[in-house]
């Protein structure tokens, strides 16, 4: 695994953890896992919801981008597996006719008894 792949994998994991936290902090509507519902604080509840929604969307986009980049890096250089794309090393040769086997004269058939 290359250095670039390792760095991207660590960034990918950090994005995934941040996205889970951002999703869990969102206010729940109907008994979901939203933890950060309560009021009070420096930001209004509507402003916090908009901030968390935008943060989640940005983290999700970054997650998709790092997923695609890691997939491209993992596949490596693509090599053709088609037999038509491979160079032909030898031209196919026609089978050479072998010398005919020597024929032995067969014995004459015995006359049929009447």
What is the token pair recorded at 15? Answer: 């994005």
pLDDT tens readout for residues 15-45: 999 999 999 988 766 544 555 555 545 556 6
Shortest CA distance to 62 belongs to which of 18, 4, 106?
Answer: 18
pLDDT at 17: 97
pLDDT digits (tens, 9 = 90+) for 32-84: 455 555 554 555 666 667 888 899 999 999 999 999 999 998 887 766 677 77
Domain ranges of the chain: 3-26+42-75
* pLDDT for residue 95: 72
> Model-level pTM greater than 0.75?
no
Q: Which two tokens stand for residue 59?
A: 């983290």
């Amino acid at each position: 695994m290359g250095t670039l792949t390792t760095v991207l994998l660590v960034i990918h994991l950090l994005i995934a953890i941040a996205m889970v936290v951002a999703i869990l902090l969102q206010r729940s509507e109907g008994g979901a896992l939203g933890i950060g519902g309560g009021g009070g604080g420096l930001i209004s509840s509507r402003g916090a919801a908009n901030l968390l929604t935008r943060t989640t969307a940005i983290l999700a986009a970054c997650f998709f981008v790092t997923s695609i980049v890691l997939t491209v890096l993992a596949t490596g250089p693509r090599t053709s597996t088609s037999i038509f794309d491979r160079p032909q090393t030898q031209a196919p040769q026609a089978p050479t006719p072998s010398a005919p086997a020597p024929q032995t004269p067969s014995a004459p058939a015995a006359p049929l008894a009447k």
